[in-house]
Amino acid sequence: EVTVQESGAAGQSVQLLLTNSRGQRISQQLISEAGQAELRTVSLGDQTGVYILQAVTPTERQSVKVIRR
């Protein structure tokens, strides 16, 4: 698991997407209306490796690489 703090999207919907290195979607969470700061826990897959966590709003997309050893 990894804990994510999202901020800067107050009042907007935020979608958290986790994919593995092959582009397969592992999990998806929707925050229908984000507050000032949101803490969420995202479960990683069972395999070690590289995952990409994306936070997507109606106006912006940010990605973070997560490495599980």
pLDDT tens column, 31-44? 888 888 888 899 88
Q: How confident is the model at residue 1 (pLDDT cuts 50, 70, 90)?
A: confident
The Cα–Cα gap between 53 and 59 comes to 17
The backbone torsions φ and ψ at residue 9, rounded to the nearest 5 degrees and listed phi first, read: -125, 30
pLDDT (tens digit per residue) in 10-33: 889 999 999 999 999 999 999 888
Question: What is the rounded average pLDDT of the residues 41-59?
Answer: 91
- Of 34, 26, 25, nearest to 57 (Cα)? 34
The Cα–Cα gap between 37 and 25 comes to 25
% helix, strand, coil for the chain, step of 5:
0, 60, 40
pLDDT score at 50: 95
pLDDT score at 18: 95
